[in-house]
Amino acid sequence: MSSIRYKSMVSEVPAAPPEVARAHFEGKLAVETDPSDVHFDLTHGIEGLVVVDARGADAFADRHIPGAVSLPYRSLTPETVAPLKGKAVVVYCWSVSCNAAAKFGARLAALGVPVKEMLGGLEAWVAEGYPTEGALPASVPFPDYLRHHHRPGTQGPMSAAR
């Protein structure tokens, strides 16, 4: 029997006081949402919600969240965001490792539009089993779709490459 006594890695840094933790988590919730909450709002017809796909037009054409609009983050201008003012905007991109949605959110907020990022992007949406739309059959696994659009020299939608 070992006589080694381990110290807690979790409590090495003590937890924040409840009021600090609450402010932290409420701050996160003010700028983030998840696929489950987005799916709930979309399927229950919540008015004023606009889901924006910040990826390129080719990726959107192949697969996207039903009802989402394509607005690649590099093409953001005051004119392209004007229809979003006064709406509840949720933006997403590829996955947890993609920062296009964060870039989009920062630019959108700078233009005066409140916005939330959907955590995990389209990959998390698909992983939770929610439907997608687009030219690409839903039977194509998400990793194959992702690899196609991230392969150097890829031009156009995946459906055109098949």
Q: Over its length of 162 residues, how does the chain's per-residue pLDDT go in tens digits? A: 678 999 899 899 999 999 999 999 999 999 999 999 999 999 999 999 999 999 999 999 999 999 999 999 888 889 999 999 999 999 999 999 999 999 999 999 999 999 999 999 999 999 999 999 999 888 888 888 888 776 665 555 554 444
Q: What pLDDT does residue 145 have? A: 81
Q: What pLDDT does residue 161 have? A: 45
74-90 burial, b if ≥16 CB within 10 A, otherwise e?
eebeeeebeebeeebbb
What is the maximum alpha-carbon separation in the chain?
70
Q: Closest Cα to residue 101, out of 115, 81, 82?
A: 115
What distances in angstroms separate CA 99 from CA 38, 73, 79, 94, 108, one per listed residue?
19, 10, 23, 9, 14
133 and 64 in contact (C-beta within 8 Å)? yes
Q: What pLDDT does residue 160 have? A: 47
Question: Token pair of 8, please?
Answer: 């807690």
The domain over range 32-161 is classified in CATH as 3.40.250.10: yes
- Specify the pTM: 0.84
Determine whether 114 is exposed, middle or buried from the number of CB atoms within 10 Å of its CB (0-12, 13-18, 19+). Answer: middle
